[in-house]
């Protein structure tokens, strides 16, 4: 902490309050109001879209009644945009001109339901996708411009640095948007096909969203196109398989699987793997009928063609090298079919998708009815599940018309009629593991090949899954040889083991859990039972410019925890995060302890952990964020949501460890907050009365003078918040004897006759 021998005005006690609803809450329609000073705002937005693609400044935007001024707004989209449309897709950027955000979101992407008579395709598709991949959240928003209702829009989370930080625990690695920068077409694809070693030739087809990365990206294309057997070394192959399966099943062809091979992002995580992220689902469920074909054709499909599109379409078409890489690998192909089976079982065989579609249609029905700018009639919206609609050169199928027949067709194909292995009785031995001790995972697996049962495992949720073969030989805690009990042993080198099992036979594969690798099992070392209040977030600094320096000599954000108990706490199995939606961003190292009534600092940066200090791998946003402490079961022990932070002003509990959060103008790094926030006093007022202290610095004594007869006492506190001296005022004056005090900084508080503080400041004592 930097000691400042100067007068410090304490902040008013103020507890931040979080929003009552999440911006992407699917059960609530968001209300977004935009105000332009320009009455010809539509013309101006069209000019910018067709020209520089820059933003038009809005005077303000209100989001559910919360107003933000000076906002960037522009039209977005390709086929969904047209200057003749009354209702174009909109991109709102809250931080174009000022550092501001709404619940931490700076980009708002609003879709206009182009090519979607049902008006629910995008939200429905994202709601299914999130069960299998890391994907954007999506819901609906009613939009007003200059007081006029423009209609109901889909509201899909932007894929940007915040998205990457929340899902991949970093945000500065190679990040690519895979959409052509020129007009897409049969010969213009973002298909990951290797062109040459010169990165310049890729720029018309991809947009780099990170500072660097072209060399990484060219290597990815080279590997997938020319060395497909090595694809898993450069791309998260499981996410790629889920993406291809989802696109094919839902006839989401305005995607990698379709004619333009576009509308996805790639982010390279800290494990060196590119992660595909699906984007732009407004034309899922057959809203875009162009599957592409060899020779750069559009591959236009009728509704009947969509219903019976081969699950292996493009498996040998060289313009889709990622599909080639998956389908030419026998195991990946079986995994692909397994993922298709899982999505079908979860949502379509049981008609769960129809129930969910009905729910969201009912939610937006009244807003659709009053939307005079929509592309389709209210009747077409109501019948969007079971009526086909002609929209020019092709027909958009009713969603259930398409999917009911499609699921029946897929189940009839040879690959779907094969019987996969069965996996059951998955058992960790011992059930209660110990650190650095062996643990075995066993399972009953039937209808499999003896050498084709694998454990996917990792000890850190941020890492990639590794693979180990399971054996039925009697030597791996698997019982007798040949009894269909398979096992494998490994050492418990962390507080948690995350794992799944995959098995295959000659014709089919099976995962357990079936949504792996997106879902998995967890085995945890027993941890200390830390109750709410035992360990608290005590203070944090989200905008450290020159306050406290880490061991690398850098000013980075930090979070301070405090042990309120009289016993040492072991943090094995506990986590720290900046987002309640992603609780396990930072797992404490095994046997990390915090002494009784003591502090622990975690540097909120992406530096490597050292033996002396902990580094979280995430940093804190100064515009909006959360600090969250949780256990391995997802129970939140302590959390705080904050908004705009000032440079070198921390936020901490006042009084220390137990009070509400307030600004602390001089951060108290690894020390009691009481020194600068005044322990627990309420009704703080800032110098209603003038008080002087002299001399200051002082040696033997100090005299306080006030202009008010109402002043009664002066109290002096040390840096730990302990009262060390006090005295009464007589005739507006009081003198404190400083005998017995060591040199240092002290806080004085001046109280009136009611015991309420009227003034406060810092006294320097020099002996």
> Which one of 77-86, 350-359, 663-672 scores highest in mean pLDDT?
350-359
pLDDT digits 0-9 by tens, 311-353? 999 999 999 999 999 999 999 999 999 999 999 999 999 999 9
Q: Are residues 589 and 469 in the same domain?
A: no
Tell whether 749 and 709 lie within a shared domain.
Answer: yes
pTM of the model: 0.82
CATH of the domain at 594: 2.60.40.1260
Please tell me the least confidently modeled range out of 232-246, 551-565, 576-590, 703-717: 703-717
> How far is residue 120's CA from residue 147's CA, in Å, rounded to a whole number?
25
Number of domains forming the structure of the chain = 5
Picking from 450, 480, 501, the residue at the C-terminal end of a domain is: 501
Among candidate residues 677, 708, 724, the one where a domain is terminated: 677
Within a domain: 16: no
| Average pLDDT estimate for 117-137 | 97
| Distance of alpha carbon 502 from the chain centroid | 28
435 and 574 co-located in one domain: no
* DSSP string covering 304-364: HHHHT--TTTTTT-TT-HHHHHHHTSHHHHHHHHHHHHHHIIIIITT-HHHHHHHHHHHHH
- pLDDT tens for 194-243 read 999 999 999 999 999 999 999 999 999 999 999 999 999 999 999 999 99
User: Which of 388, 417, 446 is the endpoint of a domain?
Assistant: 417
Residues 396 and 471 in one domain: no
Mean pLDDT, residues 695-721 taken together: 83
**Are the beta carbons of 485 and 474 closer than 8 angstroms?**
no
The answer to whether position 526 is within a domain reads: no
As a whole number, the mean pLDDT across the chain is 91
Q: Is residue 507 in some structural domain?
A: no
Q: Are residues 36 and 132 in the same domain?
A: yes
- CATH code for position 743: 2.60.40.10
Q: Based on the fold, state whether residues 308 and 384 are members of the same structural domain.
A: yes
On whether both 198 and 315 belong to a single domain, the answer is yes
Q: Position of tokens 């889909």?
A: 154
Q: What does residue 248 show for φ and ψ, rounded to 5 degrees?
A: -70, -50
> What domain range is 593 assigned to?
535-677
Q: Establish if 731 belongs to a structural domain.
A: yes
Does 21 reside within a domain?
Answer: no
pLDDT reading at 587 higher than 70: yes
Clarify whether residues 412 and 435 are in a common domain. no
Adjacent-strand bridge partners of 749: 715, 760
- On whether residue 525 sits in a domain, the answer given is no
Residue 674: its pLDDT value, please?
A: 81
Distance from first CA to last CA of the chain, Å, rounded? 22
Whether 397 has a pLDDT exceeding 60, the answer reads yes
What are 252-311's pLDDT values in tens digits?
999 999 999 999 999 999 999 999 999 999 999 999 999 999 888 999 999 999 999 999
Sign of the CA dihedral running 391, 392, 395, 396: negative
Q: Whose CA is closest to 382, among 401, 362, 367?
A: 362
Q: Determine, yes or no, domain membership for 253.
A: yes
Which residues does 475 contact at the CB level (< 8 Å), separation at least 6?
none
559 lies in a domain? yes
Q: Judge if 602 and 728 occupy the same domain.
A: no
Range of lowest pLDDT (317-326, 582-591, 736-745, 751-760):
751-760
Same domain, 405 and 429: no
Q: How far apart (Å, rounded) are the C-alpha atoms in residues 513 and 521?
A: 7
pLDDT mean over 35-62 = 96
Same domain (yes/no): 610, 627: yes
Residues 238 and 111 in one domain: no
């Amino acid at each position: 902490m930097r000691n400042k021998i100067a007068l410090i005005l304490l902040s008013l006690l103020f507890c931040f309050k979080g929003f009552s609803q999440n911006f992407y809450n699917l059960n609530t329609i968001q209300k977004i109001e935009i105000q332009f000073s320009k009455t010809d705002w539509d013309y101006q937005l069209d000019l910018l879209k067709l020209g520089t693609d820059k933003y038009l400044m809005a005077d303000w935007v209100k989001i559910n009644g919360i107003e933000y001024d000076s906002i960037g707004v522009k039209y977005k989209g390709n086929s969904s945009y047209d200057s003749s449309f009354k209702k174009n897709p909109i991109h709102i950027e809250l931080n174009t001109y000022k550092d501001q955000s709404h619940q931490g979101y700076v980009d708002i992407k609003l879709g206009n339901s182009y090519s979607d008579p049902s008006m629910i395709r995008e939200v429905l598709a994202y709601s299914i996708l999130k069960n299998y991949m890391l994907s954007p959240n999506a819901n609906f928003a009613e939009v007003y411009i200059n007081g006029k209702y423009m209609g109901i829009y889909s509201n899909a989370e932007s894929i940007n640095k915040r998205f990457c930080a929340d899902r991949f625990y970093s945000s500065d690695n190679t990040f690519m948007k895979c959409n052509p920068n020129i007009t897409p077409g049969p010969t213009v694809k973002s298909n990951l096909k290797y062109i040459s070693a010169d990165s310049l030739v890729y720029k018309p087809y991809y947009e780099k969203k990170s500072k660097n990365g072209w060399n990484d990206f060219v290597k990815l294309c080279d590997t997938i196109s020319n060395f497909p057997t090595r694809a898993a070394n450069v791309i998260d192959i499981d996410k790629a398989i889920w993406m291809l399966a989802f696109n094919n099943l839902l006839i989401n062809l305005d995607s990698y699987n379709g004619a333009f091979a576009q509308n996805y992002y790639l982010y390279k995580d800290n494990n060196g793997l590119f992660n595909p992220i699906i984007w732009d689902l407004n034309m899922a469920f057959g809203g875009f009928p162009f599957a592409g074909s060899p020779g750069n054709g559009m591959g236009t499909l009728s509704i009947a063609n969509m219903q019976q599109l081969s699950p292996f379409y493009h498996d040998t078409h060289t313009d889709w090298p990622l599909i080639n890489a998956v389908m030419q690998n026998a195991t990946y192909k079986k995994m692909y079919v397994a993922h298709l089976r899982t999505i079908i079982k979860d949502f379509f065989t049981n008609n769960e998708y129809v129930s969910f579609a009905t729910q969201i249609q009912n939610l937006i029905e009244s807003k659709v009815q009053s939307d005079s700018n929509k592309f389709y009639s209210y009747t077409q919206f109501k019948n969007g599940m079971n009526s086909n609609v002609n929209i020019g050169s092709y027909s958009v199928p009713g969603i259930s018309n398409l999917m009911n027949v499609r699921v029946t067709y897929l189940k009839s194909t040879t690959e779907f009629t094969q019987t996969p292995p069965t996996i059951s009785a998955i058992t960790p031995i011992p059930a209660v593991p110990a650190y650095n001790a062996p643990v075995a995972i066993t399972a009953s697996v039937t209808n499999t090949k003896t050498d084709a049962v694998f454990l996917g495992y990792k000890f850190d949720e941020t890492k990639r899954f590794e693979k180990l073969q399971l054996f039925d030989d009697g030597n791996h805690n698997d019982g007798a040889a040949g009894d269909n009990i398979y096992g494998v042993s490994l050492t418990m080198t962390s507080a948690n083991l995350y794992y799944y099992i995959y098995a295959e036979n000659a014709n089919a594969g099976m995962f357990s859990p079936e949504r792996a690798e997106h879902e998995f099992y967890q085995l945890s070392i027993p941890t200390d039972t830390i109750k709410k209040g035992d360990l608290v977030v005590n203070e944090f600094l989200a905008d450290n410019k020159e306050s406290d320096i880490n061991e690398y000599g850098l000013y980075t954000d930090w979070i301070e925890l405090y042990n309120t108990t009289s016993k040492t706490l072991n943090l094995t199995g506990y986590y720290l995060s900046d987002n309640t939606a992603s609780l396990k961003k930072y797992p404490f190292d095994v046997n990390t302890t915090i002494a009784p009534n003591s502090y622990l600092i975690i540097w909120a940066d992406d530096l490597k952990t050292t033996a002396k200090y902990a580094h979280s791998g995430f940093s804190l946003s100064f515009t909006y964020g959360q600090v969250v402490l949780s256990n391995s079961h997802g129970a939140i022990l302590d959390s705080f949501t904050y908004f705009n932070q000032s440079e070198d002003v921390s936020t901490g509990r006042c009084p220390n460890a137990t009070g509400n959060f307030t600004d602390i103008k001089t951060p108290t790094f690894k020390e009691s907050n009481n020194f600068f926030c005044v322990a627990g006093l309420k009704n703080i007022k800032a110098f209603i009365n003038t008080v002087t202290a002299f001399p200051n610095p002082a040696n033997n004594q100090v005299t306080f003078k006030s202009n008010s007869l109402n002043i009664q006492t002066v109290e002096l506190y040390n840096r730990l918040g302990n009262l060390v001296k006090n005295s009464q005022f007589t005739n507006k004056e009081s003198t404190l004897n400083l005998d017995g005090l060591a040199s240092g900084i002290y806080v004085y508080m001046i109280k009136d006759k009611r015991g309420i503080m009227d003034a406060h400041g810092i006294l320097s004592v020099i002996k």
